[in-house]
Structures are given as structure tokens and as C-alpha cells.
Amino acid sequence: MTLRGGGPKEGGKISDMTIRSALDRGRQAAPQLYELLRLKIIDLELAPGVALSRSELAAEFRVSQTPVREALLRLAEERLVDVFPQSSTRVSLIDIDIARESHFLRRAVELELVRELALSNEVSVIADLKRLLQRQEALRDANDDTEFSRVDMEFHRAMYVALGREALWYLVRSRSGHLDRLRRLHLPAQGKRERIVQDHQRIVRAIEEADADAAQQALRDHLSGTLEYVGQIQKDHPDLIAGG
């Protein structure tokens, strides 16, 4: 099984896969491995339940097992992998309870962000959000779920950066892995990409019009989209979700 863009891959081990990504030898290996593996977990290229071998990862990236261990421990802190001492390390199943907690945190933070953005009404910020929205509109029409999802995250990150809250973005992101994977499972659903684009359009419009209440309502509606369908997602992907 080759790790590439597309939908979730079920079962298998890391030895069944090829990760076609090189490390920058001028930078520390562990942070790069963490980011690479995390991205592939969020994109479901490393599916819930897949076994991860330290020795195989070390051989694949031509590094010692030490940075591999450090990367996996960091992923374990985010509960994206389960480490079984003296046994195995596996990509964790998606936990709905954790996803709901993450949703609560993200909604609380981003409701304040869009309010501040609407009240500040900075032209350069609005231009940046519109640029990302245009990229997402093009990807929606190109039917590229993987890149669409990444630009979606860039859109939200841009709101944190605009208000000097980038550190808070990384905190929220570190708690959102299960929610992000749930959203990635839901993305191929009919009309989902269109709804995301429309929600982002509403958010940007409200910010541009300096309407804080409308911006918050648009954000609230936007973030509720996936959890409204959690029952159907569990039914469609029982092997990928804890208790599914």
C-alpha cells in the first residue's frame, strides 16, 4: 500500500507502505518526522489501526531510532498513536468523545477570533482570507480532498496569525487530531466541500462588513457541520472509530 493523496487506507503495517518524503538533513530529524507522520495520520494516509515500526521508519528515513521514538512519543501525547510497551505502536482509532472536546475548545476560541477580526476590520486580513478562499474554491471544483483540507486549515490558522495568536493555534491543533480526522472522513460526502466554502464566504463577508454577531453565527454553523453527521460517519467507517 503506497501513501499518497486520497481516501483512508485500511489495515496493513508501515512495512506495506512507501513514504515518499525526504528529511532536510540540515534540521533536526525528530520534529520533521513528527510533522510528516502527523500530516499523514490527519490525512488518513496512515489509517487508524495501522502498526508503526520504529525500525522500519528509521530505515525508511535513514535515521537512528532515537528521533523516531521522540516523534512517536509526541504523537502519543496528542493521542494520535497508541504505544504498547514491548509490543507495538499503532495509529489510534478515532475517539468521538475526544473529537467533541476538541470541538468545544476550538469553537470557544474561534468565536472570539472572528469577533475581534470583525471589530478590527483590517483590510489586509480580509484580503488574505479572500485569497485562501479563492484557492479553496478552485480545489473544490478540482475535487482534490487532500489539498482542500489543508487549505481549509490554512484559512483557520490565518485568523489566529492575524491577531497574533499563532501559539494558540498550535495549542488548539495539538488537541484537534481526532476531530480533524473525523472531518477528513466526512469531507467526501456529497455537498460537504460546497458547504465549507459557503461557510467561509459567510465568515469573510461578516468580517468585511464589521458584523461581529454574523461572523460568530457563521463560525458556529461552520464548526457544527461534521458533528451533526457523526452517527452516519460511525456507520460508514466502523473499523476506524473507537466503539464504532
Shared-domain flag, residues 36 and 144: no
User: Which is more confident, 84 or 70?
Assistant: 70
User: Which is more confident, 26 or 78?
Assistant: 78
pLDDT at 244: 56
pLDDT averaged over every residue in the chain: 90
CATH at 121: 1.20.120.530
Contacts of 60 (CB under 8 A, 6+ apart): 14, 18, 19
pLDDT tens for 162-219 read 999 999 999 999 999 999 999 999 999 999 999 999 999 999 999 999 999 999 999 9
Cell 521514538 -> residue:
69
Residue 111 counted as domain residue: yes
Weakest mean pLDDT among 7-16, 47-56, 107-116, 220-229: 7-16
pLDDT tens for 124-172 read 999 999 999 999 999 998 888 999 999 999 999 999 999 999 999 999 9
pLDDT tens for 6-43 read 344 444 444 444 444 578 888 899 999 999 999 999 99
pLDDT at 21: 59
Residue 9 counted as domain residue: no
- Three-state DSSP class for 79? coil
pLDDT tens for 91-134 read 999 999 999 999 999 999 999 999 999 999 999 999 999 999 99
Shared-domain flag, residues 120 and 62: no
Q: 3-state secondary structure string, the chain?
A: CCCCCCCCCCCCEHHHCCCCCCCCCCCCHHHHHHHHHHHHHHCCCCCCCCEECHHHHHHHHCCCHHHHHHHHHHHHHCCCEEEECCCEEEECCECHHHHHHHHHHHHHHHHHHHHHHHHHCCHHHHHHHHHHHHHHHHHHHHCCHHHHHHHHHHHHHHHHHHCCCHHHHHHHHHCCHHHHHHHHHHCCCCCHHHHHHHHHHHHHHHHHCCCHHHHHHHHHHHHCCCHHHHHHHHHHCHHHECCC
User: Which is more confident, 27 or 244?
Assistant: 27
Residue 33 counted as domain residue: yes
54 close to 96: Cβ distance less than 8 angstroms? no
User: Which is more confident, 15 or 70?
Assistant: 70
| pTM to 2 decimal places | 0.88
15 close to 1: Cβ distance less than 8 angstroms? no
Count how many domains the chain has: 2
> If you average pLDDT over residues 1-5, what whole number do you get?
32
- Identity of residue 188: P
Shared-domain flag, residues 123 and 236: yes
C-alpha cell at 159: 485568523
Residue span of the structural domain in which 39 resides: 14-91
